[in-house]
Amino acid sequence: MLFHVRMDVAIPHDLEPNHREDLVATERKRALELQHTGVWRHLWRVVGCYSNISIFDVDTNDGLHAILESLPLYPYMTIEVTPLAQHPSDVSVAVGPR
């Protein structure tokens, strides 16, 4: 199943700078791992925001929740998830006269 996920990140300004650096570095490492496994299909920066729009490919809602909860920056994120279904007019799946 595909999920559109928006993550808005708000790291507290008073977080110890080394801890902040560690969090961001481990988040990046985890994101790269998940992209290499094919679970985290797309990762886009939202222009002008400390936010991303991502596409995840995960079997279940619970599976996606577990992944999101495992992210190092999870405690500092507001996350909005939209489950996606196929659109009948999507050119990659549409059948009919050409």
Ligand X SMILES: O=C(O)CC1=CCC(=O)O1
Establish if 28 lies at the interface with ligand X (CB under 6 A): yes
CB 31 to ligand X: min, Å: 4
87 three-class SS = coil
The smaller minimum CB distance to ligand X, of residues 44 and 86, is found at 44
> Which residues, 6+ apart, have CB-to-CB distance to 26 below 8 Å?
72
**Which segment (15-23, 24-32, 58-66, 86-94) binds ligand X by CB under 6 A?**
24-32
7 three-class SS = strand
Establish if 58 lies at the interface with ligand X (CB under 6 A): no
Name the strand (E) or helix (H) holding 21. Answer: helix 17-37
Binding site for ligand X (CB under 6 A): 7, 9, 27-28, 31, 52, 73
